[in-house]
Amino acid sequence: MRRRGFTLIEVLIASVVLTLGLLSALALFMQSQRMMMASVRFETAQRVLNYFEMVHPIPSPEQVTEDPLDSELLNISEERAEDLCDQLEIDLAPKDRELIAGYSVMREVDDIDDEEIERNGGIYTVRTTVKWGGNLRGMKPEEEVVVKLWWKGSSGGGGSGGK
């Protein structure tokens, strides 16, 4: 006798294999989407950091007359990204304005004592922090920190460098 078609067990095994393949593809797609969204968030953070650097560039040593730890040119309190765009008079599209909503940025000089400043040769660590997330659209809080070394220098010398 000749058999036609598939047995029930063959169909069940094929269904299980197909289901596992589809679930694996779905998991891969979801992971790819999460990575893409993380990339968009970090790209937006870099954009906000660029706006901040345009509004508040790191000053030259000659511009900082007081103690760098207390300098208003080096230590900038937290500012919203939308406010930076307004200061730069950037006319963002509504989609771009929505994208930067919830981002903020600040800069501070690491607090170190006089002995450490002397040992470092007058080099200060300046941290610029971009924050986003939190209660915004259910995202967890995230931040990106950029560290730069700033040298007060001696009379007439100095500058800043990135790290």
Please tell me the predicted confidence (pLDDT) of residue 118.
86
- pTM (predicted TM-score): 0.76
Please tell me the predicted confidence (pLDDT) of residue 57.
95
Find out whether 111 and 69 touch, Cβ atoms under 8 Å.
yes
Please tell me the predicted confidence (pLDDT) of residue 136.
53
| pLDDT, one tens digit for every residue, the chain (163 residues) | 677 888 999 999 999 999 999 999 999 999 999 999 999 999 999 999 999 999 999 999 999 988 898 999 999 999 999 999 999 999 999 999 999 998 999 999 999 888 888 888 889 999 999 999 876 556 688 999 999 999 987 543 444 444 4
Q: Which two tokens stand for residue 86?
A: 């307004």
Please tell me the predicted confidence (pLDDT) of residue 157.
40
User: Measured between alpha carbons, how far is 124 from 132 in angstroms, rounded to an integer?
Assistant: 26
Please tell me the predicted confidence (pLDDT) of residue 158.
44
Please tell me the predicted confidence (pLDDT) of residue 162.
46
